[in-house]
Amino acid sequence: MLNFVGQILIYVVPFLLVLTLVVTIHELGHYWVARAFKVKIDRFAIGFGRAVFSRQDRRGVEWRVGWLPLGGYVKFAGDLDASSVPDQAGLAELRGRIEAEQGSAALNDYYHFKPVWQRMLIVAGGPFANFVLAIVVFTAMFSLLGDQIAPPRVAEVPAGTPGAAAGFRANDLIVEVNGRPARSAQDVIRVVSLSSNTPVAFVVERDGQPVELTVVPVRTVTEDAVSGRVAIGKIGLPLVTRRDEVRFIRYNPIEAVGAAARQTASVLETTLTYLGRIFSGRESGALLNGPLGIAKAAGGITAQATEGEAPASLKAANLALMLLQFAAILSIGIGFINLMPIPVLDGGHLVFYAYEAVARKPVAARVQEAGYRVGLALLACLMLFATWNDLQKLNLFKFLGGLVS
């Protein structure tokens, strides 16, 4: 029983804390942009199902927390359906009802009668807030902790590895990877792990001279405490950093914002690169995570931050920093996913509004309904695929096979 409670504290609680933070910021993005345009709002909800907390403010907005903390939403006054994009008939019915009950002037308070550009900004406010959260977190870290440059060197070159075949030598200093500066081992790992069976161009410094090398990473199954069991590209070269080559950079507030923006862009670029490789058939999509995978990662981070001998206060501070960084990366992912042109997501709403801006009329109801169903099906398939990946990474099928063998 104590072990079960411990597992909940390590995996479930950090996952819910991080997810709730990211979802709350996303929904606040919609909320504050809507407030800026004086839109009447009925409800701001975090979580689904029966309310465990609910109160109404002086503007008439119900602030609500549901018992299932796996999402959230902002409900605008007059919403007719889950898509929040009524067609001409729906708008006419809503207009007539509002005018009959409140008068024509009240139409200005309703989301659906705002100019299309304002509705687009309100929809985009959620993903934008996710990116802002990431930049704020990274800015705080760069301001408080600075940045570390730890040039990666090749510790040794095991025989038979892709690195050995490419001509690497022990003590080579890796300067560039695919034309980008290699500031740390993580810069190398990030590129190599997503380049299975794809040539990667290196520039190394050897005896004071630059040497160009090309290596093809081999897809290898690996396992760690954070990601679980995954298949990634590897070149078989252990990397080290000399203590005398490590440098710390301190940023002023403006420089920290710039560094944070570059870090956010780098995470987005890595995501786009990986998705592009999936669609081109060069990756299987095994690194896509669902809720179980995210909880596994949160638990792994918690375990890493609290292990070892250190004062409880230091462990708590370390855990908070690591979870905040994890929240920033997750926030970027959620912001990006919500911009995908799927009708049930913010990106799908933006597509509908773009059509309305060009055609001067909303998308037909039957088209919206079909798009909504297709969007739900796509999301369900994506969730099932990600959950399947999670279960494989957690070795659950091997575990179940052992139980019945």
* Opening angle at CA 379, ends 64 and 117, nearest 5: 65
Measure the CA–CA gap between 321 and 301, rounded to whole angstroms. Answer: 10
Paired tokens of 109 = 């308070």
Q: Is 152 helix (H, G, I), strand (E, B) or coil?
A: coil
**What confidence category does residue 249 fall into, taking pLDDT thresholds of 50, 70 and 90?**
confident
Q: Which of 399, 324, 349, 306 is nearest to 9 (CA)?
A: 306
Query: What value does the mean pLDDT take over residues 321-329?
Result: 88
DSSP 61: P
The average pLDDT across 121-141 equals: 95
The segment with the largest mean pLDDT, out of 3-17, 121-135, 139-153, is 121-135
State mean pLDDT over 199-227: 86
Contact 218, 233 (CB under 8 A): yes
Could you tell me the CA-to-CA distances from 331 to 147, 205, 335 in Å, in that order? 21, 37, 6
First to last CA, the chain: 27
Is the pLDDT at 339 greater than 70? The verdict is yes
Residue 146 CB coordination number (10 Å)? 14
Say whether pLDDT at 178 is over 60. yes
What is the mean predicted confidence (pLDDT) over 246-250?
A: 87
Residue count (the chain): 405
Q: How confident is the model at residue 401 (pLDDT cuts 50, 70, 90)?
A: very low
| Closest alpha carbon to 341 in 358, 331, 353, 329 | 353
pLDDT the model gives residue 91: 76
Number of C-beta neighbours around residue 2 at 10 A: 6
Nearest Cα to Cα of residue 10 among 318, 296, 326, 308: 296
Residue 41 pairs in a beta bridge with 76
- Residue 246: band (very low, low, confident or very high) from pLDDT cuts 50, 70, 90: confident
Least reliable range by pLDDT among 164-168, 181-185, 340-344: 340-344
Mean pLDDT score, 166-192 = 91
Structure tokens at 157: 């070159």
Rounded to whole angstroms, how far apart are CA atoms 34 and 74?
Answer: 10
Angle at 364 between CA 358 and CA 366, to 5 degrees: 150
Give whole-number Cα distances, 41 to 75, 99, 112, 366, in Å: 6, 18, 12, 27
For tokens 């799908």, name the residue: 348
User: How many CB atoms within 10 Å of residue 47?
Assistant: 21
Dump pLDDT digits (tens) for 269-318.
888 887 787 777 676 666 666 666 667 776 777 776 667 677 777 777 77
**What Å distances lie between residue 394 and 16, 261, 327, CA to CA?**
19, 33, 22
Provide mean pLDDT across the span 182-210: 91
What pLDDT, on the 0 to 100 scale, is given for residue 240? Answer: 92
Residue 127 has a pLDDT of 96
27 noted as active-site residue: yes
Amino acid 397: pLDDT: 44
Q: Give the three-class secondary structure for 361.
A: coil
Over the stretch 345-392, which tens digit does the pLDDT of each residue have? 899 889 999 999 999 888 887 887 788 788 878 877 877 776 766 666
* Cβ-contact 237, 220 below 8 angstroms: no
Asked if pLDDT for residue 217 goes beyond 90, the answer is yes
Predicted confidence (pLDDT) per residue in 69-118, tens digit? 888 999 998 775 544 556 677 777 777 888 788 888 778 888 888 999 99
Domain 148-249: CATH superfamily, name plus number: PDZ domain (2.30.42.10)
Distance CA 231, CA 173 (A): 26
Write out the H or E segment, with its range, that includes residue 384.
helix 365-393
Of the candidates 27, 255, 269, 283, the residue annotated as catalytic is 27
Q: For the segment 20-79, what is each residue's pLDDT rounded down to a tens digit?
A: 999 999 999 999 999 999 999 999 999 888 889 999 999 889 999 998 888 899 999 877
